[in-house]
Amino acid sequence: MNQLIAYLRENMILDFQGDLTLEMVRDFLKEDNSREARVLLSKLVEDRGVNEMMIVLADCLLEVVQRSLSDDRIREQLRIYSES
């Protein structure tokens, strides 16, 4: 079981559901006048869309997710699956 859990953790992928567009981001940030929002929007305009942001964000968050998922949590989910 430990080898299976290690394999699952190492081969996990993180993806975002939906079709986020630059226009959607503009709409989400329209009432946010923070520097953070302005810099992000500027970067997205420079990149001509959100694709690069989504790839980088998924890659960075994947490491956090992989570290925070304990073996016990994965084992529990496998048990729930096998008993369903």
Cβ contact 5:75 at 8 Å: yes
Mean pLDDT across the chain: 95
Measured CA to CA in angstroms, residue 41 lies from 8, 21, 22, 31 at distances of 35, 12, 8, 13
Please report the pLDDT score of residue 12 as a whole number: 92
Low-confidence residues in the chain, pLDDT < 70? none
- Degrees, nearest 5: CA angle 35-14-83: 135
- pTM comes to 0.74
